[in-house]
Amino acid sequence: MTRDADATGRQVAVGDDPDVVVLTHPLARHKLTLLRDARTSTGEFRRLARELSMLAGYEAMRDLPVEDVEIDTPLERMTGHRLAGKKLCLVSILRAGNGILDGMLDLVPSARVGHVGLYRDPATLEPVEYYLKLPDDLPRRRCIVVDPMLATGHSAVAAITRLKQAGADSIVFVCLLAASEGIACLRAAHPDVRVVTCAIDRGLDDHGYIRPGLGDAGDRLFGTK
């Protein structure tokens, strides 16, 4: 998989897969670099994650359908646009997903929110589900699944499988950092799911951490160790 960089700062699809989108906007690169820096404080990390998730969410919602709507400005009648089609459901993969939920909700405050609780078995790195709470009308909603790190891809695959079992048929996955292993795993299991990320890193280490990465996103978001 190759990484395309666009000097104009436009978002680009990766390699020959148009459904993997990397944010190349200068603001995204700048904020991601600050996010990665080990000296960044918990409060600053949280703020940056929220800001980056707004930028990624903006990209993830690029193809939302709109319909014409007639409105009156203070000066005259005009045709504007409003979101149409399926309503949205944001789904956070606990716990780190919550760190990028608020930025997304800033963009779409009326979206429903679901939660999938998964932890990684430290030995197998396989996801184990411990919590699931989803709106009951998922077939009528477009789902945006959020998790800051797409590492092995196993958690994302498991979460999306559960969403599909609950009837979801329109799903986008948004993360802040991805490893190409994770992207390949997710795209192989769910080829219908578009991936939006702020960067694709070199790879995974023996503990399943993305390198160079940013460390444990949950710990950095919530100030735990």
- How would you class 215 by CB atoms within 10 Å of its CB: exposed for 0-12, middle for 13-18, buried for 19 or more? middle
What are the residues facing 80 on neighbouring strands? 69
Active-site residue, 216 included: yes
Q: Please identify, among the stretches 13-21, 58-66, 136-144, 203-211, the one whose residues bind ligand URA according to the rule CB under 6 A.
A: 203-211
The single-letter code of the amino acid at 99 is: G
Known binding-site residues equal: 95, 120, 147-155, 210, 215-217
Phi, psi dihedral angles at 46 (to 5 degrees): -65, -45
Based on CB atoms, which residue is closest to ligand URA, 7 or 38? Answer: 38
Among positions 47, 113, 216, 222, the unique one binding ligand URA when judged by CB under 6 A: 216
Catalytic residue among 120, 140, 162, 169: 120
Site for ligand URA in 18-77 (CB under 6 A): none
Q: Please identify, among the stretches 28-36, 124-132, 137-145, 204-212, the one whose residues bind ligand URA according to the rule CB under 6 A.
A: 204-212
List CB contacts of 49: < 8 A, sequence separation 6 or more: 35, 99, 100, 103, 148, 176, 217, 221
Instruction: Compose the 115-154 pattern: x for residues touching ligand URA by CB under 6 A, - for all others.
Output: ----------------------------------x-x---
Contact status: 100 vs ligand URA (CB under 6 A): no
Q: Please identify, among the stretches 34-42, 87-95, 128-136, 210-218, the one whose residues bind ligand URA according to the rule CB under 6 A.
A: 210-218
Active-site residue, 77 included: no
Among positions 61, 171, 175, 210, the unique one binding ligand URA when judged by CB under 6 A: 210
Catalytic residue among 17, 19, 169, 216: 216
Residues at the interface with ligand URA (CB under 6 A): 96, 149, 151, 208-210, 213, 216-218
